[in-house]
Amino acid sequence: MTAKNETIVESVAFGSGQTGDTLMKPENFLPDDYKPAEDEPFMNERQLEYFRRKLLAWKEEILEDSKETLADLANSTRNLPDMADRASEETDRALELRTRDRQRKLVAKIDSALRRIDNGEFGYCEMTGEPISLKRLDARPIATMTLEAQERHERSERVHRDD
């Protein structure tokens, strides 16, 4: 163990409470089975850390899938003599690229949510300023609107699309 690690371990073990120690922050002691609850203060440090970890894990999963896709696309370049086989392979490739494009956009939304966590704006509706329900955020941590505001937004989009 290095001297710095020993100092941090000692400060944690003996409760020195040194400011600046990342190990001393309460969100770093978040249990693995923690779930945000309605009876705790909204968007407290534990909830923010929970959502940060959830978003980072989701982003990492998407990026891993993208790496696999790139490797598969690089390895699957074949010159198939049968037109039907070639068309099928091209269709599969196009579908995979569309999926990756959607996931690229999703990564941008995840990054935006992480910025909102850092700015103290995460969890609040961008339209009304009201808190977004914890259930909605747990299911869709990139949500930027309450369910009601999202429904109003989608209805107005449908109306304007019909014009």
**Is the pLDDT reported for residue 15 higher than 70?**
no
pTM: 0.72
Residue 109 lies in domain? 31-162
Residue 143 belongs to some domain of the structure: yes
What is the reported pLDDT for 3?
43
Which amino acid is residue 126, in one-letter code? E
pLDDT digits (tens, 9 = 90+) for 112-140: 999 999 999 999 999 999 999 999 999 99
For residue 48, give the CATH number of its domain: 1.20.120.910
Residue 155: how many CB atoms within 10 A of its CB? 10
Q: How far apart are CA 35 and CA 19, in angstroms?
A: 27
**Is the pLDDT reported for residue 41 higher than 90?**
yes
The mean predicted confidence, pLDDT, of the chain is: 81
What is the reported pLDDT for 25?
56
Range ranked top by mean pLDDT from 22-31, 78-87, 107-116? 107-116
Total count of domains within the chain: 1
Q: How far apart are CA 25 and CA 28, in angstroms?
A: 6
Residue 3 belongs to some domain of the structure: no
Q: How far apart are CA 10 and CA 134, in angstroms?
A: 36
What is the reported pLDDT for 76?
65
- Residues contacting 144, CB < 8 A, separation 6+: 116, 125, 126, 132
Task: Give me the residue label for tokens 């909605």.
Answer: 136
Q: How far apart are CA 59 and CA 6, in angstroms?
A: 32
